[in-house]
Structure formats: C-alpha cells, structure tokens
Structure 1
Amino acid sequence: MTGIHTEASARSPQALGLMAEPSAADQAAAVAPVDAQWWTALGDSRLNQLVESALADGPSLKVAEARIRKAWAMAQVSEAADGPQVNGQATANRNHAPANGLIPPPIAGNNYNTAEARINGSWSLDLFGKHRAALDAAVGTARAAQADRDAARVLLASNVVQAYVQLSRWQEQEAVAERAIAQREHTLKLVRDRYSAGLDTTLEVRQSESGVPEARVQLEQVREQKHLAQNALAALVGQPGNGQNLQAAPIASLKLPQFPQQLSASLLGRRADIVAARWRVEAADRSIAEAKAEFYPDINLTAFIGLSSIGFNNFAKGNAREWGVGPALSLPIFDSGLLRANLRGKSADYDVAVEGYNQAVINAVHDVADQIASAKSAYAQLPEQRKAADAAQSALDIANQRYAAGLGTYLNVLSAETNVLTQRRQSVDIEARILQTNAALAQALGGGYSDPEPSAAAIDTAASQKKAS
C-alpha cells in the first residue's frame, strides 16, 4: 500500500469567505434560516395546494425514492455478508463407472446410484473490518440518495413558486396590454373628434388608428406567454392537460417572505446537495478502507453435516452420516498488482468525491451570493421604478390635456403614452423579479432542509488530513 494515497482535500468555510460562527443577532436565524414550508409565507392558498400536489406526485421524486430503496437494499446486501451463512443442498444421481478407471470392483464397469444431502454453514470473522467498511460505504451511498431526494424536493418547490409568480406576471402584463388598447381607443376617438372639428389632419388620424391594432398584437403576444406559463406550471404539478385552467393570484397580493441575507458556515449543512456530496465522500473513504482490508487474510469458520451414500438403499442408514467443522484461511500472495490497482482506483474515487464536494460548496456559495445581490438590487429598483411610473402617468395626463386644448401635438401624446406603457411593464417585471429572486434565495439557502443523521466524519476538516498509509 506504500505510495498509494489520496490527493484531494475539502475546502474549509474560511477559505470560501464564510463566517465560521454567526453573530449573536443572527444565531437564532442560523438555527433555522428557512422554514421547511417557506412558500406558505407568501399567503396564497392556491400556491400552497400546487406545491403540495407537485411534492406528492412528482415523477422525479418517485425516481429518487426508488433510488433510495435500491441503495438501502445494497446496504442490506453488504450487511448480510458480515453474518453467518447457512445453505442446504441435496443430489441424487445415476452413474456408470468405467471398467478401467479409479473406481474398483465390484462397481467398476457397472451402473450405480449416489445420494447426498448436506447443510453447510460459514461465518466470516471480518477481523480486519472489510465487511464493516463495505457496509459503511453502502450506508453512505444510501444517505447520499436520501439527500438527493430532499434536494429534488427543494428544487421542485422553488420551481413551482417561480412558475406561479411568472404566471402572475404575465396575467399582470395582460391587464397592462388591455389597458393600453382601451387607452389608444380613447385617444383615437379624441383624434377623430378633433379631425371632425377641423383641428387635426388625416395624418394624425392614421397615426392614431395604427396604434390600436399594434396594441392588440402586443396583447396576443402577452397571452401567448401567459398560456406557456400556465403549461409550464401545470407540468410541474403533474397536470399537463389542465394548464389553461390555472390562475395565479395578483402579484400585489403575494407577501414577501424574509430570509437571512448573510453567508455563514451553517449553509454547508443546510443544503441537501452539499450533504449528499458529503455522504459520497464518506462512502468513498470507507471504500478505501475496504480495499485496504483486501490485503489481509480472510478467516472463515465453516461446518457441514449431512448424509452421503452409494446406493439409494444405504442413504438413510446411520453410517451414511458425515460432518465436518474447522477454520478456513484465505491469504493473497501474488495477484499481479490486482489489489494495488483496486486501491488506487478507490483512492481516485475518493479524490473525485472530495472535488465534487468542493464544487458543490463553491456553487452553493456562488448561488446564495448571486440571489442576495439580485434581491437587494430588485428591492432598490422598485421604489425608483414606481416614481418613474408616476411621473410618466403625470406626463401623459398633461399631454392629453394640452392636446385636447389644442396646445400640443399628437406626437407628444404618443410619446408620453408609450413611456407610460413601458413603465407599467417594467413595474410588473420588477415586482415579479423580487418574488422569484426570493424563491431562488430560499432554494439557495437550503429550502428548510436539515440532515436528519449527520455523517460520522467531519468532512470539512478530516478530508483535508486524509492520507492513506
């Protein structure tokens, strides 16, 4: 085993720029930063039902559950290898002995019957921990599968909330587009009245007439996006044929859940994907221990008892009994480098698992940092956007008044009207973005996940010190 060792080491929280310990003000939040049903804080019963439906019937979660069952079954296979094994066998044969073979007369050259029944037992003492290591590796794999399932649940809940907010956004945009049509129809009537009074020309009439169908085209485009959002949400909740019946609550009625916006080391235990990666590291570590144990002897206790006879009529006689008991030793002497190659492979698997863990941690910290930055930006934009929308509406009112009084041109009205529609759409987009960013932040912070059975090894520190002897 000399010269075979692992090379990867896990990143520490400090190396990632995370606070090792939360401040006193944040300690309570650090214990449970996100509620396991965080979406209920938005205060919409329809959304709650959709999320619950998705989590109950999602095919991706069913696949994850099947993988968990398989992983635990493999753990039971490994556990069984550490216990006593008993099996039975029975044979009955009609044979012909060669005349010039090893079998002496009177059987030689004649037909004869043999019968045998035996119960065999064995028990591997596992003095060097090979079976225990294999079981621990299988348990680690099963725990990783469970964490993967929980990560899928968190992702699915976040996707449903974001799809729901997206549908609400397009519903609001549809209302804006309908208001735009009504506004342009009102402007067209005003232009026609002025044309009839001789205050405008045919040019203003034609310009105003083109605005109505243009607004209707925009409405149809928005409705297309709304239908696509309905279909996406319906697919997430497992009802793809019911998309057109789905409706979302207005954005203004959805409350904003509050999440902690500080990065701390507790994040590493609050994300199911990181916990899954951690369990894979532990499983890989135990696989190395199993590979090392292959270099040592296998010591088994074996025993058998049964009946064996030549001739069926002798099978039940007392002198047909046989039995045996004793130890068995198996020791690798020369294998052309097979065991060393296996150990090198397990060590490489460990390095892969550790670097996978490191990448999962980096991605998690990056994800949280991005969502916090986006949330802060969206919050800062909203009041400014509302001011811009109010100013645009005021400018349109003034432009309409001046145009009606003959003091302004239609181009002034058209420009002000376009600005109002743009500001309305942007206001809806920012409000939706705030909600979607909060949903993404809830997912990034772990979605309320907590590891029910933490891994036995402290991966963040022990992995960096791991060296194979």
Structure 2
Amino acid sequence: MKSAFFDRKPNVAIGARRAEAHRLSLPSQALILAAVMSSLAGCASRAGIEPSGHIAEAGDLQASRSLVRELREASAWPATDWWRGLGDPQLDRLIDEALAGTPDLAVADARARDAEAATSSARAARGPALDGNTSAAVNRRSNQAWPLDLGGGRNAFVRDSAVNLSWDLDLWGGKRAAWEAAVGRAQAAEVDRQAARIELSTAIARAYVRLGYVSARHDIATAELARARNLLDLARQRSRSGIEDQLQVRRAEGDSATAEQEIARADREIGSARIALAILLGKGPDRGLEIARPSLLRPAAVTVPPNLPSDLIGRRADIVAARWRVEASGRDIDAAKAEFLPNISIAGLAGFSSLNAGSLIGASALTYRFGPAISLPLFDGGRRRANLADRDAAYDLAVAQYNKTLVAALNTVADRLGNLRSLAKQVEAQQRATDAANAAWSIAETRYRAGIGSYLEALSVRQQLLAAQQRMASLNAEQVDLSLQLIEALGGGYRPDPQDRRAVKPAPVKDPA
C-alpha cells in the first residue's frame, strides 16, 4: 500500500526533522501512483475462473401432457389459511396454537434474525468508521543508540489522545456486492421462516387425520372382536352338541385373538398420534391426551391452478428461498472479483500528543494526519484466485440446488395428482363393495331373525362387512392425506412479497474494469 497524507506532528516531539526538497503536490503524487498501479493491474489475475451453473427455466420443464386434465379444470391456489376449509374447529385451534410459537418456528426465527444481523454488518462496512483512543506510556531509549542530548538513557512519559477516521471508497462496488449478498441471504432466511410455518401447519393437519383414522380403525377392531367372540361362543355350543368338531372352535379362537391384537395395535398408534401432535405443538405428552377424537375429514377439493408450472416458482417458499441464495452467490462473485482491482481509501487521525500532562491539550500538542491511500494487489500466493474459485463453486452449488428444488416441486405436484386420481377410482369401487357388503349383512341378519338363515352365516357376512369398512376407512384417510400433501406441494398458501417476485436471475458477472 502506498499513501499520501497531510501530516502535522506536535513541536514537542524529540528529534530533528530533515528538510525535504522538491516535494510534489498531493494531486500529482496520487495521479502518478494511480497510473503505476493501473499498469500493474494484471499481476493478480482472475483469468480462467468463471461459474458454470445455469438456472433451469419453468418453460424448459415439460408437464403439459402429465397435467393436461388438471389444466383444463384449473382452480385457485391454496388459501393462506387453507385448513379452515376442512371444517374442523378443533384442527383450526391446534394450528393457531402451533403457529403462535413452537421450537421449530423458534429455530427458523433465530436463523432469520442472524441473517438480518449479517446484513446490518455488511451495510455498516460500506460507510466510514470513526474511533477514539487515549493512552499513556513510559518510553525509554537506549543510550547506546541515542545520544543523551537526544533523549537516550532517560524515561519519557508519552500521553496521546486521538480520533481515527477510515473509509474505504469501494470504487468497484465490492463492498456493495457483499452487502447485496447478505441481503439475499436474509431474504432467503425470511422465506425459510414462512416455509417452516407452512410445513408445520401441514404436518399438524396430517397428524390430525392420522389420529382420526386410527380411532376409526380401533372401532372396527372392537366390532370385529365382538363378532369373533360371538362366533367362538357359537362354535363351542355346536361342538358340545356334536354338530361341529374342535376345528371350528380353534379357528374361532384364532379370530378372537387376532381381533384383540388389532385393538392393542390401534391403541398404540392412537397414543403415538397424540404424542406426534404434542411434539408439533411444542408441548408435553399430556397435551396430546387433551385432544378430542377427530371427526373424519373429507378430502380437500384441490386441483391444479392456472399457469403451472411457471407460477409455481413464485408460490413455493423453498423455490423462492433457493432463488434468493442463487442471487446472493452471484453477488459474492462480484465482491470476490473486486478484490483483484486497485482501491482507494481515506484515512485520518487527529489528536494531541505530549510528554507533559499539563500541556496535552493545546495547539503545540496538536497532531493530525489525513489523506488517501491507494492499494493494488500484486502477489498473494493465489489467495484471491482461490477465494474467487470458491465463490464460483458456491454459485454453481446454489444453482444446482435451485434446479433440483424446482424439478422436485413440479414432479411432486404431478405425483400427488396422479395418486389422487387413482385413489378416487379406488374409493369409488370400494364404496360399491362396502355398500354391497352392508346390504348382504342386512339380508343375512333379516334371514336369521326370520329363522330362515343361520347365525353362523350372519356372522360370516358380518366379517366381510367389517373388512370392507376397514379398507374404506384406510382409503378415505389416504385420500385426505394426499390432498393435504398436494396443498403443501402447491405452496401451502405461501404469498410472496412483491420484492420476492422480481426476476432475481443473476446475469453473468461483468468485469467492473
């Protein structure tokens, strides 16, 4: 670094000053120095280091054939409070309680605050810095190197009080680029915070549906146990009468034991579902016990909104956050490239220095220094090139993660829609099977009460009905769960700020020179 300063020292300093002749003016010195540095600008080179990542565009992802039916039946995007459309007040209260604050949200909030603090730090680095200091020290010069008449062999008490000014002019925008990178990461952290709320609300709704399903399965298992025990009693009676052998008794005992096992399994899963909800609410396990049994929910009526997949980029929080990180990485490259170029900073000092405490404040003790300092990177062992290569790799990584997120998001939507179409057909067929089994049970029960059919026949038909009801409950729960997953895949009601919707695709970083 070479600098040119206005310099004034106090007249109490010990030692002789040598006169300087033919001193060039300050502007002349600065111009000559700048010209020399410009001629040497190629000493620290960044040639051959460029990022290779390319952002995938929504139009490049083919989806029209997979979503042709849904695009003809396009609907609105999920609402911000989409869960209220499910019509369950208890679920509304649970999600409101969770969004008021849980450990998961606290983690996302802390990360957002940390990123905002980094933004403030980067912004402060762009401005001037002013520091004050005062000191007092004992100084003794060797009388072997300094004659006695020039202060050698004596102790000197030096007192200083000064204010220091420093300001990097940031000619090529390196510090501004670093600040913009920090802003981008703060934006990404803020979007991550909103994504955490969406993920939490969806997880609670899915756990709630799970609790309702295992409760229904417990009811069916209880009914099956009652049927199996009735069949066992009948088999034992018939065996004692010599009508049946022990084979039917043993089979009925096995059915009864299986039903008891299913009840125990349903009880365990009910407990696990309640604990899962307590965890999501950020509470202890007793909170889960306070949740009333959920009513069976109907699947949310969700279809693909218009302009998919292009609008999906702005509706999925994870895609928006990934895009902000790409932009931040692009600005990091700008900041790294600016380090290869000459720069000018302003430095100044003003204060008092004296060997006499009584004369510390006064014109004779005044000292100041002020002027520009011009720096040029000449040789650093490859540190700047390595730093730029690292920033380029980080940019390529951010682009790859963005592309991966975008591709996964669009395919997830298509997968959820395909599964829902298949489930709709399965539910329709299973409903017919359940209706038929229910009708058969009614006929069998009527025949038995009229004395035409046997009780054994009625119990056998009852088993078919319970099995059909079990499959129906499972398909209904899966259908509701998939509709919730589709809501999440479509962004979960995320509404970006106008600033988030701007085109943040970083252009190739230009040479600031």
TM over 0.5: yes
Partner SS, residue 311 of structure 2: helix
Aligned match of 1:331? 376
Count of aligned pairs between the two proteins: 459
**Residues 78-134 of structure 1, C-alpha deviation per residue, up to 9 Å, x if partnerless?**
101111110011111122221122465252111121111111112221121011101
Partner SS, residue 101 of structure 1: coil
Shift of 1:339: 1.6
Aligned match of 2:262? 218
* Structure 2: distance between partners of 1:27 and 1:281: 34
Aligned match of 2:354? 309
Aligned match of 1:348? 393
Partner SS, residue 92 of structure 1: strand
Counterpart residue type for residue 149 of structure 1: R
Residue 259 in structure 1 maps to residue 302 in structure 2: yes
Shift of 1:432: 0.8
* Structure 1: distance between partners of 2:501 and 2:97: 35
Residue 383 in structure 1 maps to residue 425 in structure 2: no
Counting only pairs closer than 5 Å after superposition, residues 148-297 of structure 1 correspond to structure 2 as: 148-188=192-232, 203-205=247-249, 207-242=251-286, 243-251=288-296, 254-261=297-304, 263-297=308-342
Partner SS, residue 120 of structure 1: strand
Counting only pairs closer than 5 Å after superposition, residues 42-191 of structure 1 correspond to structure 2 as: 42-102=86-146, 105=149, 107-188=151-232
Aligned match of 2:477? 432
Shift of 1:256: 3.6
* Structure 2: distance between partners of 1:415 and 1:128: 85
**Residues 272-327 of structure 1, C-alpha deviation per residue, up to 9 Å, x if partnerless?**
11111000000000000001111112211222211011232332342001122211
* Structure 2: distance between partners of 1:64 and 1:166: 26
CA RMSD of aligned residues (A): 2.8
* Structure 2: distance between partners of 1:129 and 1:392: 76
Question: Do the aligned partners of residues 422 and 456 (structure 1) sit closer, same or farther apart at CA in structure 2, a change above 3 Å counting?
Answer: closer
The percentage of aligned residue pairs carrying the same residue is 34
* Structure 2: distance between partners of 1:212 and 1:97: 103
Residue 393 in structure 1 maps to residue 438 in structure 2: yes
Partner SS, residue 119 of structure 1: strand
Aligned match of 1:370? 415
* Structure 1: distance between partners of 2:351 and 2:150: 26
Q: Is the 8 A contact 2:309 2:410 kept in 1?
A: no
Counterpart residue type for residue 508 of structure 2: K
Partner SS, residue 159 of structure 2: strand
Question: Do the aligned partners of residues 443 and 102 (structure 1) sit closer, same or farther apart at CA in structure 2, a change above 3 Å counting?
Answer: farther
Question: Do the aligned partners of residues 102 and 108 (structure 1) sit closer, same or farther apart at CA in structure 2, a change above 3 Å counting?
Answer: closer
Aligned match of 2:366? 321
* Structure 2: distance between partners of 1:261 and 1:97: 84
TM-score in terms of structure 2 length: 0.82
Question: Do the aligned partners of residues 339 and 178 (structure 1) sit closer, same or farther apart at CA in structure 2, a change above 3 Å counting?
Answer: same
Q: Is the 8 A contact 1:172 1:250 kept in 2?
A: no
Q: Is the 8 A contact 1:160 1:236 kept in 2?
A: yes
Shift of 1:143: 0.7
Q: Is the 8 A contact 1:10 1:358 kept in 2?
A: yes
Shift of 1:248: 3.4
* Structure 2: distance between partners of 1:389 and 1:286: 62
Counterpart residue type for residue 97 of structure 1: R
Shift of 1:56: 1.8
Shift of 1:360: 0.6
Partner SS, residue 149 of structure 2: coil
Shift of 1:361: 0.5
Aligned match of 2:8? none
Question: Do the aligned partners of residues 447 and 27 (structure 1) sit closer, same or farther apart at CA in structure 2, a change above 3 Å counting?
Answer: farther
Q: Is the 8 A contact 2:73 2:304 kept in 1?
A: no
